[in-house]
Structure 1
């Protein structure tokens, strides 16, 4: 059973990794906007202001690291709205423990719900339509989504099942790296979460496929695969070989509660 939602929200805290940080949705000022920021703006506008928003996300973190580094800080802010989205860095790691990921997600959701927050999470679609190599991790993504569903049922969090909708893997919603949403993708995620909260003006249009199919010649496909491997796959492999993480030296995107349209308190993750 989901908690009764208040007529308005006072404090929204976002926990997660690079997706929550908003990577590949530029804000025009050297940082990233992202679906979390977009959702905060929607909530604030819908209730006529009054929302404070913090984003504790750091790119490159696993689910365990999100719990260890962000949950305590989030709870001190006493949010009545929270989002928890992570797991991409777990399914792409050398080893993946679905049970451990499920336990960490459940602990975060449960603690936030017990603290009085409406908590939102969402599933990760199978990335195979975006990159053929993703078929190697497709079983892990399926296990992650099962873990999310079980955790959400147990905690009372609201789970939005993006993976159930084919448009979720339309390349026009993804950045060139095929791991992060682009600006249009972040906008769709925000629209979906707004509908989950029954915000005024929200609807199910985010599920609607594009009016025209995406076509690609064989040569265009080969060229795109080669470009992706050179620009993204090989650097990612090299980073792993060196034992490096994108999280190295980075702090939370927006570590204190401020009005959604105010500048973030930290630009450490810009670029």
Structure 2
């Protein structure tokens, strides 16, 4: 099947952090997917990316659903809820109920939908006992929603490359590395039945295990550089995406998106 327009909805995962273009803006798996789809669709292919880092599910729905429906795309990707499950007070069942309604609305327009089961980050982030059960509920619910509405499901949780290889993740341990984004793009295109560059599936060699003392030092540096600022923003009621606007707010050909504002806080 050939899609002539694609809208990406979501948060930092879909915005493309931390896969940077030379100018410091982010590419990510969605840009890679759109570029590949445009090869088949031709120069009239339109791509919009409404995703903004730090967005909770309610914000994704409130800010992005109406513009998405108004653009009447052939294909929509939806990935949200990951930021919610990291919060202390989150009801994953309520998240699933909201997602179900959104996917139903999008599918009612005739658009195809891509959904994701989130990758397992428990091996390199603290707090697994808290967010692990929530992620399990969310992933299970996403699978059921995809089956019920006939959406394309990309199961990143089942991909061991994301679970066991730190090279798939950026230094903050939360966002994907360029290699991670390429692998997600390959999984998406495979789910859509579109031919993919096999190099995107290549997994870099796993870093050699660190000695215990060196590993603890790395953990402390990570906590100071990434965890502490995240906690500070939560306490202040701020988000890394407060000053960010969508990088591609309207359907446009690949390579012709307008510039958007960037946050002074890159996280």
TM-score when normalising by structure 2:
0.91
Q: CA deviation at 1:153?
A: 1.9
State yes or no: 1:41 paired with 2:24.
Answer: no
2:166–2:206 CA contact under 8 A, matched in 1: no
Matched with 1:265 is 258
Matched with 2:139 is 145
Q: Secondary structure at the match of 2:255?
A: coil
C-alpha spacing 1:266/1:101, structure 2 compared with 1 (3 Å)? farther
Which of 169, 179, 183 is the matching residue for 1:174? 169
The 5 Å alignment of 1:140-219 reads 140-169=134-163, 170-201=165-196, 206=201, 210=204, 214-219=208-213
**Separation in structure 1 between the aligned mates of residue 16 and residue 33 of structure 2, nearest angstrom:** 11
Q: CA deviation at 1:199?
A: 1.1
Q: Secondary structure at the match of 1:256?
A: strand
Q: CA deviation at 1:187?
A: 0.8
Gaps of 5+ in 2: none
**Separation in structure 2 between the aligned mates of residue 161 and residue 214 of structure 1, nearest angstrom:** 27
Q: Write the deviation string for residues 35-78 of structure 1: whole angstroms up to 9, x where unpaired.
A: 11111001112344431000011111111111111001000100
Instruction: State which drifts further: 52-61 or 119-128.
Output: 119-128
**Separation in structure 2 between the aligned mates of residue 204 and residue 266 of structure 1, nearest angstrom:** 29
Q: CA deviation at 1:265?
A: 1.9
1:192–1:204 CA contact under 8 A, matched in 2: no
Count matched residues.
263
Which of 98, 116, 123 is the matching residue for 1:129? 123
Q: Secondary structure at the match of 2:157?
A: helix
Gaps of 5+ in 1: 1-6
Q: Secondary structure at the match of 2:233?
A: helix
**Separation in structure 2 between the aligned mates of residue 57 and residue 229 of structure 1, nearest angstrom:** 26
Q: Secondary structure at the match of 1:160?
A: strand
**Separation in structure 1 between the aligned mates of residue 77 and residue 216 of structure 2, nearest angstrom:** 38
State yes or no: 1:228 paired with 2:222.
Answer: yes
The runs of 4+ residues in structure 1 deviating greater than 6 Å are: none
Which of 102, 105, 111 is the matching residue for 1:111? 105
Q: Write the deviation string for residues 219-246 of structure 1: whole angstroms up to 9, x where unpaired.
A: 2211210111000111111111111112
C-alpha spacing 1:266/1:209, structure 2 compared with 1 (3 Å)? closer
CA-based RMSD of the aligned residues comes to 2.0
**Separation in structure 1 between the aligned mates of residue 229 and residue 250 of structure 2, nearest angstrom:** 33
C-alpha spacing 1:177/1:211, structure 2 compared with 1 (3 Å)? closer
